[in-house]
């Protein structure tokens, strides 16, 4: 599988909301079967997977880090595992790459490769996941 070139268009894509998932403007939701706004928002967040902050995007581009679909799935799994354990800020190790993630915001904050790891100190993390 060919690597995905990370760019803002790729990261900022959003899943379209199905009109049947939310009531029309000015209408109250039908309590019997209609999803609340929070339910719809949570569905969107779950489908989107992790996002990358501007800083992380800059690091990916400057360090020439490209991620495949498989690697993106592994990162999503790592953030999911961290979330299930109650981690707020996680260090995610994958092969020769390291990512710092805000688990609560489902966002990758920065990315580092093995070359830049030497003499680095990572602060403000409360968990680590190896994927």
Note whether 23 and 58 are same-domain residues.
Answer: no
- Please state the domain count of the chain: 2
Q: Determine, yes or no, domain membership for 1.
A: no
Q: Determine, yes or no, domain membership for 113.
A: yes
Structural domain of 21? 7-48
Note whether 30 and 59 are same-domain residues.
Answer: no
pLDDT of the residue at 117: 83
Q: pLDDT (tens digit, 9 = 90+) per residue, 63-97?
A: 999 999 999 999 999 999 999 999 999 999 999 99
Return d(Cα 9, Cα 18) in angstroms, integer.
21
Note whether 38 and 57 are same-domain residues.
Answer: no
Q: Determine, yes or no, domain membership for 55.
A: yes
Note whether 53 and 28 are same-domain residues.
Answer: no
- Going by C-alpha positions, the residue among 105, 130, 107, 11 that lies closest to residue 67 is 11
């Amino acid at each position: 599988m060919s690597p995905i070139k990370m760019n803002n268009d790729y990261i900022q894509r959003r899943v379209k909301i199905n009109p049947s998932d939310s009531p029309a403007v000015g209408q109250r939701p039908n309590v019997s079967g209609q999803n609340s706004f929070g339910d719809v928002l949570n569905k969107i967040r779950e489908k989107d997977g992790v996002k990358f902050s501007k800083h992380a995007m800059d690091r990916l581009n400057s360090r020439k880090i490209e991620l495949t679909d498989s690697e993106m799935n592994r990162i999503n799994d790592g953030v999911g595992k961290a979330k299930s354990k109650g981690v707020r800020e996680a260090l995610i190790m994958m092969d020769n790459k390291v990512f710092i993630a805000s688990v609560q915001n489902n966002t990758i904050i920065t990315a580092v490769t093995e070359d830049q790891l030497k003499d680095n100190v990572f602060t403000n993390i409360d968990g680590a996941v190896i994927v």
